């Protein structure tokens, strides 16, 4: 059997979940179409999703499409839950990107399309809501070509747009007669052309044509158990008894019950039935399939099972979207519930590693990384309703980064000065290109340092750069080990090992932060804050009122386009001010303004005090304090 692992992506409220319902109904999987507003959709299974009318967690279901079994992944549209989308992209064969015929191309649509194009994912666009008042398919198609994909290829048009009678008029029969259909399919499967359908998930217009196209325009995987087993975990949830349940996309080979993996022993496998989407127990999940796997008690999202797939269908594991740019401290209202709160947050972090759970022992504070205020509200509600823990959040603050400005070196030698560790470490640090990460190079002679000691230094370098001179992470840097030394393993006359006479990996782990921070202090850093690119659509008559207010939020306007009575203003605004600006816009624009924003880049903090972040380590910037803390621990 052949499989199509299909993702449904969209900006929030474009009709993504409604389209999922319509596809399931058209395929005969469900008898009645669920409603997002009534909370009766199949994929929004969480009670919180039903109440809010938004998708929070990626959900997987299945339906038959001719001789192909489609595994359909419905992903969140709200930018606060973009991490759920990121985890699914690398396991998909193709994507349907939904765009509203009323609102058109929105901020999140552009973010998603950038990720799709970076990965070369074959994609079909579906312009939804052609039956809604204000629908303008021609305008939206022009926006798609200008702002998303110049290689967009419309497969028809819309008659009676903006009315309940709106219907898709297909050009496919003509394309077939002109023998263009096969060429279009080839280019679509390669991800170089983007077919565009129009329709309505509510009325069903355009759905049969879309379904017919999916089976031909997107690539499919062939089931097979040959080759070494290779798969990736893209979703982890907890079962009724608390056990971890992993959703795994297999790329090559097969995974079987009783197989032993680093994350545990497989005790059960299910696959989704293409007939009704229900899980069906099985003993094996093969290449091309998505399996629901039990027994992997140490599994985490992003884990690769086996070697990287050799079929070329697996996408690289790089991050497709920006990391969270906000953080907050969370506290249990009842101090006696601190332990249960941390345990609950640990489970939530298993399902969403990007919430960045951190605990500061010195301050007894727990902090989380976030994408936005909605995510914070969802976490608060989840803790209260699913874990019975009431919590409060401190003010949300932006997560800055530090960029290395120059080159600096540090050195500590065994038994010289106040170095209490049996280790010699010399390090040099310098700038690195943005996005390149932290590199670790060697200027010492190969083989001159025991591998375990070298590993201890490299691992500690990466850990230490989690806090720079001002407490913020240093994401990009070039670090070089310039000097090293150790005392070989020695024993007393009676043959017992002597720590006082022999170097250990611990000596290198404890000395490295001091040397690295010395080098960093000489190099210097610059604190950079997250900036969002915003798009504000408002009545043109109110521009003079809006512009001065934008300045108070440190927003920097860029281009302005005026079309009739509507103005579109684009520019940059600090992430820290986005939420407050969004709350102000309705009052400034008589409720007619629409603000969209998405992370764009980090920029040096200008004006005012440089933001500082409390350190979570033993503070190697203060040598005396650090040595006192570490030696007390020893």
CATH number of residue 515's parent domain:
3.30.230.10
Same domain, 465 and 590: no
Same domain, 549 and 600: yes
CA distance 263 to 253: 18
* Tokens (6 digits) for 63: 């339906």
Planar angle of CA 40, 43, 44, nearest 5 degrees: 60
Q: Which domain holds residue 149?
A: 2-222
Region 621-634: mean pLDDT is 86
Report the candidate in 206, 207, 255, 213 with the shortest Cα–Cα distance to residue 233. Answer: 255
**pLDDT tens-place string over residues 512-563:** 999 999 999 999 999 999 999 998 988 999 988 999 999 999 999 999 999 8
**pLDDT tens-place string over residues 277-294:** 788 999 999 998 999 999
Q: Which of 399, 414, 432 is the last residue of a domain?
A: 399
**pLDDT tens-place string over residues 232-247:** 998 888 888 888 899 9
Same domain, 409 and 394: no
Number of domains in the chain: 5
Domain CATH number, residue 83: 3.40.50.300
Same domain, 333 and 385: yes
Q: Residue 595: which pLDDT band, with cuts at 50, 70 and 90?
A: confident
pLDDT of residue 199: 97
Same domain, 274 and 371: no
114 pLDDT above the threshold of 60:
yes
Region 367-384: mean pLDDT is 86
Token pair 């070989």: residue: 488
326 pLDDT above the threshold of 90:
no
Region 55-65: mean pLDDT is 81
Same domain, 504 and 539: no
Domain CATH number, residue 339: 3.30.70.870
Residues with Cβ within 8 Å of residue 415, at least 6 apart in sequence: none
Same domain, 374 and 444: no
Q: Which of 197, 222, 247 is the last residue of a domain?
A: 222
Q: Considering the entire predicted model, what is its pTM?
A: 0.72
**Is 158 part of any domain?**
yes
Same domain, 13 and 130: yes
Q: Are 292 and 256 in contact (CB under 8 A)?
A: no
Domain CATH number, residue 552: 3.30.70.240
Q: Which of 399, 417, 440 is the last residue of a domain?
A: 399
User: How many CA atoms, within 13 angstroms, populate the side-chain half-sphere of residue 288?
Assistant: 15
Same domain, 98 and 235: no
Q: Residue 48: which pLDDT band, with cuts at 50, 70 and 90?
A: low
Count Cβ atoms below 10 Å from residue 3 Cβ, excluding itself: 24
What are the CA-CA distances from residue 600 to residues 144, 582, 603 (Å)?
Answer: 20, 17, 10
Q: Residue 405: which pLDDT band, with cuts at 50, 70 and 90?
A: very high
19 pLDDT above the threshold of 70:
yes
Distance of CA 1 to the CA centre of its chain: 31
**Is 23 part of any domain?**
yes
CA distance 161 to 92: 32
Same domain, 284 and 163: no
**Is 321 part of any domain?**
no
Radius of gyration for the alpha carbons in the chain, expressed in angstroms and rounded: 27
**Is 313 part of any domain?**
no
Report the candidate in 498, 503, 497 with the shortest Cα–Cα distance to residue 421. Answer: 503
pLDDT of residue 310: 44
Report the candidate in 358, 353, 326, 328 with the shortest Cα–Cα distance to residue 342. Answer: 358
Report the candidate in 135, 191, 122 with the shortest Cα–Cα distance to residue 166. Answer: 135
pLDDT of residue 358: 84
Planar angle of CA 348, 352, 358, nearest 5 degrees: 70
Q: Are 128 and 199 in contact (CB under 8 A)?
A: yes
Q: Are 537 and 594 in contact (CB under 8 A)?
A: yes
Give SS3 for 500. helix
Report the candidate in 405, 459, 397, 431 with the shortest Cα–Cα distance to residue 614. Answer: 397
**Is 417 part of any domain?**
yes
Same domain, 15 and 148: yes
* Tokens (6 digits) for 423: 């280790």
Count the residues in the chain.
Answer: 634
CA distance 634 to 621: 19
**Is 374 part of any domain?**
yes
CA distance 388 to 338: 12
Same domain, 209 and 279: no
**Is 213 part of any domain?**
yes
**Is 613 part of any domain?**
no
CA distance 81 to 75: 9
- Highest mean pLDDT among 127-141, 222-236, 564-578, 616-630 belongs to 127-141
């Amino acid at each position: 059997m052949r499989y199509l692992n299909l993702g449904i992506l969209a900006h929030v409220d474009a009709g993504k979940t409604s389209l999922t319902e319509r596809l399931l109904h058209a395929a005969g999987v469900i008898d009645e179409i669920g409603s997002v507003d009534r909370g009766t959709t199949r994929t929004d299974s969480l009670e919180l999703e039903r109440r809010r009318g938004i998708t929070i967690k990626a959900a997987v279901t299945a339906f038959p499409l001719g001789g192909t079994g489609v595994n359909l992944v419905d992903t969140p549209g709200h930018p606060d839950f973009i991490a759920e989308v990121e985890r699914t992209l690398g396991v998909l064969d193709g994507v349907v990107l939904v765009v509203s015929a009323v609102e058109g191309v929105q901020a999140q649509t552009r973010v998603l399309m950038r990720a799709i194009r970076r990965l070369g994912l074959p994609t079909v666009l579906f312009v939804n809501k052609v039956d809604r008042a204000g629908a303008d398919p021609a305008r939206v198609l022009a926006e798609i070509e200008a702002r998303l994909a110049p290689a967009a290829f419309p497969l028809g048009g819309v008659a009676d747009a903006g009315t309940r009678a709106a219907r898709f008029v297909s050009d496919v029969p003509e394309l077939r007669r002109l023998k263009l259909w096969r060429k279009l399919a080839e280019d679509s499967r390669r991800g170089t052309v983007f077919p565009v359908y129009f329709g309505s998930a509510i009325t069903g217009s355009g759905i049969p044509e879309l379904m017919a196209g999916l089976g031909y325009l997107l690539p499919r995987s062939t089931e097979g158990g040959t080759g070494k087993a290779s798969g990736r975990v893209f979703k982890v949830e907890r079962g009724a008894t608390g056990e971890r349940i992993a959703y795994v996309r297999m790329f090559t080979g097969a995974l079987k019950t009783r197989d032993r993996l680093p994350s545990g022993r497989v005790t059960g496998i299910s696959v989704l039935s293409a007939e009704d989407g229900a899980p069906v127990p099985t003993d094996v999940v093969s290449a091309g399939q998505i399996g629901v796997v039990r027994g992997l008690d140490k599994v985490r999202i992003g884990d690769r099972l086996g070697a990287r797939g050799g079929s070329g269908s697996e996408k690289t594991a790089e991050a497709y979207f920006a990391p969270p740019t906000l953080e907050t401290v969370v506290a249990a209202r009842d101090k006696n519930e601190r332990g249960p709160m941390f345990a609950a947050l640990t489970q939530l972090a298993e399902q969403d590693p990007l919430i960045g759970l951190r605990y500061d022992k010195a301050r007894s504070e727990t902090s989380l990384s976030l994408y936005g205020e909605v995510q914070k509200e969802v976490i608060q509600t989840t803790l209260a309703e699913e874990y019975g823990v009431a919590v409060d959040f401190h003010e949300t603050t932006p997560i800055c980064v530090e960029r290395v400005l120059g080159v600096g070196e540090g050195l500590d030698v065994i038994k010289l000065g106040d170095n209490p560790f049996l280790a010699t470490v010399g390090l040099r640090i310098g700038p690195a290109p943005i996005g390149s990460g932290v590199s670790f190079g060697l200027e010492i002679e190969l083989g001159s340092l025991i591998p375990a000691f070298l590993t201890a230094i490299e691992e500690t370098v990466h850990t230490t750069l989690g806090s720079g001179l001002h407490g913020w992470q240093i994401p990009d840097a070039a670090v070089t080990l310039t000097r090293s030394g150790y005392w070989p393993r020695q024993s007393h006359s009676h043959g017992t090992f002597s720590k006082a006479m022999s170097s250990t990996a611990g000596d290198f782990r404890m000395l490295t932060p001091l040397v690295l921070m010395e080098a960093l202090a000489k190099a210097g850093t610059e604190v950079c804050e997250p900036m969002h690119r915003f798009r504000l659509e408002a009545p043109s008559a109110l521009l003079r009122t809006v512009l001065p207010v934008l300045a108070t939020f440190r927003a920097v306007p860029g281009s302005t386009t005026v079309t009739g009575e509507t103005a579109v203003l684009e520019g940059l605004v600090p992430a820290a001010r986005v939420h407050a600006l969004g709350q102000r816009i309705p009052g400034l624009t008589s409720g007619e303004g629409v603000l969209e924003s998405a992370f764009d880049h980090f920029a040096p903090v200008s004006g005012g005090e440089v933001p500082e972040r409390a350190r979570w380590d033993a503070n190697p910037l203060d040598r005396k304090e650090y040595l006192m803390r570490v030696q007390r621990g020893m």
